[in-house]
Amino acid sequence: MSITLLVALGLLIGIAVVGNHVSNLPKNVWLLFVAQPLGLSSASMVVFAGGLLGGKIAPQPEYATIPLTLMILMTAAGVIPAAMLMKRFGRRIGTNIGLLSALLGALLSAYAALNASFYMLIIGSGLLGFSMAFVAQMRFAVIESLATSDDIPKAISVLMIGSMFAAILGPEVAVIGKDWLSSPHGFAGSFIGLFLMIVVAMVIVSLLAPIGVAETKIDKSARRLTEIVKQPIFIISVCCGAIAYGVMSYIMTASPLSMHQVNGHSLESTKWVIQSHIVAMYLPSLFSAVLIRYIGIGKLVLLGTIVYVAVVAVGLSGQAVMHYWWAMVLLGIGWNFLYTSGTVLLPESYQSSERFKAQATNDFSIFFVQAMASLFAGKMLFSYGWDQLIMVAIPMIVFLAIVTIWLNKIKAKN
């Protein structure tokens, strides 16, 4: 209930703060505002239900994070097919093609829960991950629906504010649907609930006005990918997104296992911490666009870096429920500042005719780093413990600080 009230309060504050500034945004932004959290629920479902179910049916406890890792790897693998389908058929049809993968993944995951099949859970999670590559492209659909680039920060903020609902939908449906169907370890009904949410998302996406329509001509003025990726602004944008996701995924993947399985905290407490984390990932979007306007992208990246330093400090201070809660909330806030900055920076590195290959390269890099981080999370936790796991994140944050200095130098010259 507290999380539901927090999200509702956040949305009310959002209306009061940004209402006058977003009234001119097109219909597509508001449709995607509703559709994206339904699609994002696949990720939060696998993090929460998939992680706990995997911990019970995996051959070894340290294998429990494999379904999540494969989900992220398949997200990375789906980036290029997603970009090609979007380019060929447009955003609306391309997105729904990707969401078909989520429908199949949800059904296979439900089957895995019914039959305690770890390998089927891995396959189902992989298909859910593949669909996430298409869901991630919704932010570019929002950008391409705008009449002016000046609206990008506030449109992205609106989209990310809507994604707060994923904090409720994924874990809440996981708990509510846990015993809908009789299964050895529960959660079969949870994935059926996810299936229904994806169906609703597909209906909403079908209502979008055409965007990113099929391209049949080759623009000779478009630069080669090698030329695009050498630009400092492209490199910095990718680093912001990749490190944001890498550190976040690494710590977040291990958190429910460390809380519930290692330290014996209750399922309700674990759910509350994960939901709070996801809310914290999107709640700052209420004011991130305002921050970009007044302090600039460079200072926002610096702020995100400082918050990540605070995550390490809190994570090493203890393992009570509130230690986890504060660490995960700060992790979400830092992710928001960094990921929003990377998303807003990316369009500065490409022309319209170059957008699909630039976007695909960016997303592949982000999700590959995220996958590698989640892959090592379970091994680090069960082999070395929570404190050592947190300390491994420090080099990534140091590298992020270097990137932050580079960005601020570039912005100071312009």
pTM of the model: 0.72
Predicted local confidence at residue 204, as pLDDT? 92
Predicted local confidence at residue 23, as pLDDT? 53
Indicate if the alpha-carbon torsion angle 380, 251, 298, 231 is positive or negative: positive
The tally of CA atoms less than 13 A away on the side-chain side of residue 290 is 11
Contact yes or no for 95/58 (Cβ under 8 A) = no
H-assigned helices in 264-320: 267-282, 285-315
CA dihedral of 112, 80, 85, 150, whole degrees rounded to 10: 110
d(Cα 135, Cα 36) in Å, to the nearest integer?
Answer: 7
d(Cα 247, Cα 253) in Å, to the nearest integer?
Answer: 10
Domain boundaries along the sequence of the chain: 23-212, 223-414
pLDDT for residue 2 is more than 60: no
Q: State both tokens at 200.
A: 């609703």
Q: pLDDT tens digits for 27-43?
A: 888 888 888 888 888 88
Instruction: Report residue 305 CA to chain centroid gap.
Output: 18
CA angle 9, 12, 18 (to 5 degrees): 130
CA angle 25, 26, 27 (to 5 degrees): 125
In the three-class reduction of DSSP (H, G, I as helix; E, B as strand; rest coil), residue 162 is classed as helix
Predicted local confidence at residue 219, as pLDDT? 52
Q: Could you give the C-alpha distances from 269 to 73, 183, 260, in angstroms and in order?
A: 29, 23, 8
Mean pLDDT score, 190-202: 92
pLDDT for residue 214 is more than 60: no
d(Cα 241, Cα 45) in Å, to the nearest integer?
Answer: 22
CATH no. of 223-414: 1.20.1250.20
Q: pLDDT tens digits for 124-165?
A: 999 999 999 999 888 888 888 877 767 777 777 777 777 777
Any residues with CB less than 8 A from the CB of 279 and at least 6 apart, and which?
A: 3, 6, 7, 10, 164, 167, 332
d(Cα 137, Cα 159) in Å, to the nearest integer?
Answer: 12
Tell me whether domains 23-212 and 223-414 share a fold: yes
pLDDT for residue 209 is more than 60: yes
Residue type, 348: E
Contacts of range 314-321, beta carbons closer than 8 Å, 24 or more positions apart: 315/251, 315/386, 315/387, 315/390, 316/387, 316/390, 316/391, 319/258, 319/263, 319/386, 321/259, 321/265, 321/269, 321/273
CATH no. of 23-212: 1.20.1250.20
